[in-house]
Every structure is written in C-alpha cells, then in structure tokens.
Structure 1
Amino acid sequence: MTLTTEELAKYLDHTNLKPDATEEDIINTCKEAVKYNTASVCVNSHWIPLVTEQLKGSTVNPITVVGFPLGETNTATKVFEAKTSIDEGAEEVDMVLNIGELIGNNIDFVTKDIKEVAEAVHEKGKLLKVILETSYLNDDQIVAGCEASEKAGADYVKTSTGFSSAGAQLDDVALMRKTVGDRLGVKASGGIHSREEALAMIDAGASRLGVSATVKILSD
C-alpha cells in the first residue's frame, strides 16, 4: 500500500500511556499530534481534560483507555471510567476485555462486560474499541474475542495494550479482519516503530494504528 504522509497520519492514534508521563510530556504529545494531524491522542484518563484543552480547534480527537492494561477491573468500574472520560472530553474509548474470562471460555461474561461499556459509550455518541491482548491468545480465542466484541456492539477490535510480552502481529491483524469483515474497525497497537511496519499492518487489515513512534513513522 502507498499512502502519503498526510494520509498515513489519519490512521494513527498518537499514544502516550507511560506511567511516568508528566504534564509537559502530554502537552508535547498533543503538539506532535496537531503538527502531523493524526487521528487522535490516546492517553490515560487522568490526562483527558488537559488533552481536550490542548487539542481544541484541531481535528485531532482525545481518546482514552478503560480497564487498562489488565482488563480485570469489574464492569461497573469500566462503565464509570468510560462515562467520566467522555464527560471530560474523550471522543473514543479503548477498553481491555477480561482476558482471563476469555481464555477460560466464559464468553457470556466477556460479552456482557463489553456490552455494558458499549451501551454507556454509545449513549453519549462516542466510539468503543475492545483490546483483546492477542499475545495471550490462540487463534480460536482471538476469533472468540472478536465475535464477542461484535455481538456486544463494539465499533473496533484492537490487538494489544503495548504492556504485554508482544504487540501487534500481522497474522493476528489479518485474522481479526477476516473475523469481523468490514463490520468493525481493526486497530493494531504495540511494537509498530517504522513506516514500513505501519503500512504492513494496514495491508493486513488494520484501519487504525496505536503508536508512540508517530514522529519517526511519519518522518521515515
């Protein structure tokens, strides 16, 4: 696939989820996103009010993560976190599903967990992405996670938090795209460090990329 830098930028969620990120770091992340006109800035929920203010007047969206990075917080907590972040300016929410329950094949619980967050997010007119954390999953579990996310009403499925043993893999992205077809978006996240890697993920089926190496990717 051939994309201009401007076109590629709109695939990117410029991400800063570092636990030691300071206010200055987050402001710099926002400045980089505005400079390159990325799709969004993705941050932990604490920073959403600051990011919303920094991005005002731009086409870059503030987005946040929920149940991050383990997915093991209870559903009510995920719902509260999502609603609060949206009230503070988030346009999209990336939630981590309950990984252990997915591996344990408790699909009813996984679906219900996602559904309650999806309903809260959609009630406010925003988008929900569901993080599977594919590094822990086999192919059957990836398919099951995608199917549960679709049944629950999610808008995207996403590979990874970037905090596990591995990030996005081309085969996983392709499998996710095959499973959801054109009905959901697919976000590849974690370990994407170059323009070549970014384009390969898009070729495999990704419609959004979560990256912290945005400046390098768009400068390559």
Structure 2
Amino acid sequence: MKINTYIDHTILKATATVDDIKQLCKEAKEHHFYAVCVNGYYVALAESELMQTDIKIAAVVGFPLGATSSYIKVEEAKHCIDQGAHEIDMVLNVGLLKSGGYQKIIEEDIRAVKKAIGNNVLKVIFENCYLTTEEKKIACKLSLNAGADFIKTSTGFGTGGATLEDVQLMINEVHGSVKIKASGGIRDLNTAKQYIDLGVSRIGTSSGIQIVNPT
C-alpha cells in the first residue's frame, strides 16, 4: 500500500496564505500525494506551482455549508475547472436534506454540477456529523443517481469528521458504484490505514506529512 497515493493534501482554513498554498504544493511534490485540495481562489496558484507534475488539483464548491444555489455552485465549479482544477468537492445542501421532501432538488443540484464539469471528478460532501442514519442513506442514493464519482464524509469544519461506522454505511449503500473519500480528523498513519482497509479510495487531510512520515 502506497499511502501517499490516497492522500488529498488539504488546506482550506480561512487564514491560509499564498505562502501556505505554495508550501502545500511543495509538500505534495516531495511526497507524491495524489492531489492537493484548496479553496477556489487558489486553484490558479496551485496550477502554476504543480505544472509538469501529475498531481491533481481539487477545489471545493459551496463550501463549507452547501447552502448556495445550484447556479452559484455550477458557476463556481466551472470557474475552478477553467483555472486548472481536475476535481470538484461540492457540499450537499445539508439544510435542505434535513428539511425533508426536497430530494429531487438536491439530486438536481448535484447533477447540475456534474454536468458542468463533464469528465472531471465530482465528490459530494455529506457532513455526516449533522445527519441521521436515514439522511446519510438518502444522500448516498441521491449522489449515486446524480452521477457523482465520489461521496465524502465531511468538510472538516463541522462538529465531527470521518468515522469508520459512517464509511461502512456509505460503502454498504453504494455497492461499489461510487468511490468513497474519508475526511475530517484523519491525522495519523494507523487511522488512515483503517479507512483504506475498509475500502476508501481517497483520504482528505491536512496532516499528510504526519501520515506518511510517522514518528
């Protein structure tokens, strides 16, 4: 297992500086991480820093609440792709899901972003810490129906991050038709391995260095 090839090396905090983004990209090159994950404004910078490498750039959309309109999410996603992103991590409309009765709108929201980015990878972030078991199952179904490539546990900005129980539930619901990204609170090699052994295809973390170089 090459743990580095599972990692989306991430910095999404509000205080991230230009130098922080450059450092993130430098570390991604040094450790051959699969991707970096950044806020939309920094996609162009990451693209310039990662030129002539095969490291992917993931950009977050509707982050971290998922409460922007489909139109805004689509335009944000398109702009990120135009700037050099290869993957979009969009936040599902959590409040709408919890309202009940809006499943068609949520599915159309996801589908619209996927259509806008074409063959580029779409990951749908659930923010599982706010969802009931039934809501998590519904989110899996809607993402699968809408053509998402990945479903993702968390933004890292909620009250909780990834759990093994949530990932197992997600795996059970999609039956291999959609890949899983675990993110939020994964900070060491042992934890990362547990998720990979369970079946996730990607780990979102700001602790990539600590994971690949445990002390």
TM-score normalised by the chain length of structure 2 = 0.97
Listed one character per residue, the Cα deviations across residues 140-171 of structure 1 (whole Å, up to 9, x for unaligned) are 11110010001011100000000000000100
Per-residue deviation, 1:44 = 0.1
Which residue pairs with 2:36 in the alignment?
A: 41
SS in 2 for 1:93: strand
Q: Matches of 1:26 and 1:201 in 2, distance apart?
A: 26
Aligned 1:126-205 pairs, distance under 5 A: 126-205=120-199
Listed one character per residue, the Cα deviations across residues 39-87 of structure 1 (whole Å, up to 9, x for unaligned) are 1000000000000011111111111000000000000000000000000
Residue 109 of structure 2 corresponds to residue 113 of structure 1: yes
Q: Matches of 1:61 and 1:216 in 2, distance apart?
A: 20
SS in 2 for 1:13: strand
Q: Matches of 1:14 and 1:177 in 2, distance apart?
A: 23
Residue 90 of structure 2 corresponds to residue 101 of structure 1: no
Which residue pairs with 1:54 in the alignment?
A: 49
Q: Matches of 1:120 and 1:49 in 2, distance apart?
A: 19
Which residue pairs with 1:26 in the alignment?
A: 21
- Larger mean CA deviation between 126-135 and 195-204 belongs to 195-204
Q: Matches of 1:21 and 1:104 in 2, distance apart?
A: 33
TM-score normalised by the chain length of structure 1 = 0.95
Percent identity for Structure 1 against Structure 2: 43
Name the aligned partner's letter for residue 67 of structure 1.
G
In structure 1, the gaps of 5 or more residues are: none
SS in 2 for 1:64: strand
Q: Matches of 2:200 and 2:175 in 1, distance apart?
A: 11
Name the aligned partner's letter for residue 14 of structure 1.
H
Give the aligned CA root-mean-square deviation in angstroms.
0.7
Give runs of ≥4 in structure 1 deviating > 2 Å: none
